[in-house]
Amino acid sequence: MTRPGPGSVFSGTSGTARPPTLPPMTTRLLRLFSVLLCAVALAVALTVAASPGASAAAAPPVDYVALGDSSASGQGTGLYDLSGSPCWRSSAAYGPLWAQRHAARSFDLLACSGATTLDVLATQVPQIPRDTDLVTLTIGGNDVGFWPIMQTCTFAVDDQVCLAAIGQGTVIATTVLPLRLSALLVAIHRAAPHARVLVLGYPRLFELGPCPAPVPNETRRTALNAGADLLDQVIGTVTLAVGDTFVDVRDRFTGHGICAPAGQDWINGPLAGVDTYHPDRDGYALGFFPALTAFTG
């Protein structure tokens, strides 16, 4: 099987699942990060305010840049007409769909499969034109170890090995990712002082209920779902604290994960080669895209 580029999330379930209750230590850490990020938000506001014309509302058509990992590049669509390996960029990703439907004046898809927050900071942010009006970002899954976690939880003999891998990702998500993501958002605002920044989260990948191997069993899917919810909660907390917009896509994907009834699934399963555990074309067009347009019009 072709090794898929990482970049979706831990994974997920369906229905009315709610984000898990965070342990006290995690809650305290997030509160601390919120205080720190208030200062970050002030710095961003001062940077923007100091820029000529910063208070003017950007009017269509806009100059748009899409940053992030494989969930932003379009991996999973099977259509890699913008670039193949290693970035797997597709015109069916949510960024190109938005740019086409909204007649963007300019559009750059810089997202690349496998990217972490540090990668985006080092290789994508420097390419943002200063006059950019809109920036979207999906990032964080690779920072917490998406691909190793999914490999482990798909093929490990013992459930405890899977749960331990998720636990390691959770620690990174609550201790390392907040500072990395906040630094990245500040850098984006410095690169494009007038831009509106929207951070899109990740879908839950799985539905619960009977599902044949090699799809992870229900115990693992439930734990992966909790990890996905926590990751989105951390990303959302940091994004809002900096003063940007968080776009939660989970409700859009409810009922459409792996193990959904035939024809209703929008996520590729574990045997899909490079597209494994990534949204398919329906996932981008019917999941990510409408979630984004709900905030942008």
The verdict on residue 88 lying in a domain is yes
The verdict on residue 286 lying in a domain is yes
The verdict on residue 190 lying in a domain is yes
The verdict on residue 8 lying in a domain is no
The verdict on residue 5 lying in a domain is no
The verdict on residue 224 lying in a domain is yes
**112 contacts 73 by C-beta, under 8 angstroms:** yes
Partners of 247 in the beta sheet?
200
Instruction: Sheet with 245-247: list strands edge to edge.
Output: 106-109, 63-68, 134-138, 196-200, 245-247
**What CATH number did the domain enclosing 187 receive?**
3.40.50.1110
Residue 290, C-beta contacts closer than 8 angstroms, at least 6 positions apart: 252
Beta strands at 134-138 and 196-200: parallel, antiparallel or unpaired: parallel
pLDDT for the residue 278: 98
**131 contacts 158 by C-beta, under 8 angstroms:** no
pLDDT for the residue 205: 96
| Residues noted as catalytic | 70, 278
**Residue 55 exposure: Cα atoms within 13 Å on the Cβ side:** 3
- pTM: predicted TM-score of the whole model, two decimal places: 0.82
Extract the residue ranges of the chain whose pLDDT is less than 50.
Answer: 1-21, 35, 39-59
Q: What is the pLDDT of residues 268-289, one digit of tens each?
A: 999 999 999 999 999 999 999 9
Domain count, the chain: 1
The verdict on residue 212 lying in a domain is yes
Task: Give the CA diameter of the chain.
Answer: 59
The verdict on residue 18 lying in a domain is no
pLDDT for the residue 55: 37
Percent of the chain with pLDDT over 90: 79
pLDDT for the residue 61: 83
Q: What is the pLDDT of residues 132-164, one digit of tens each?
A: 999 999 999 999 999 999 999 999 999 999 999
Domain span at residue 171 reads 24-44+62-296
Backbone angles phi, psi at 55, to 5 degrees: -85, -10
pLDDT for the residue 47: 41
Concatenated DSSP letters of 200-265: E-----B--S---TTS--HHHHHHHHHHHHHHHHHHHHHHHHHT-EEE--HHHHTT-SBTSPTT--
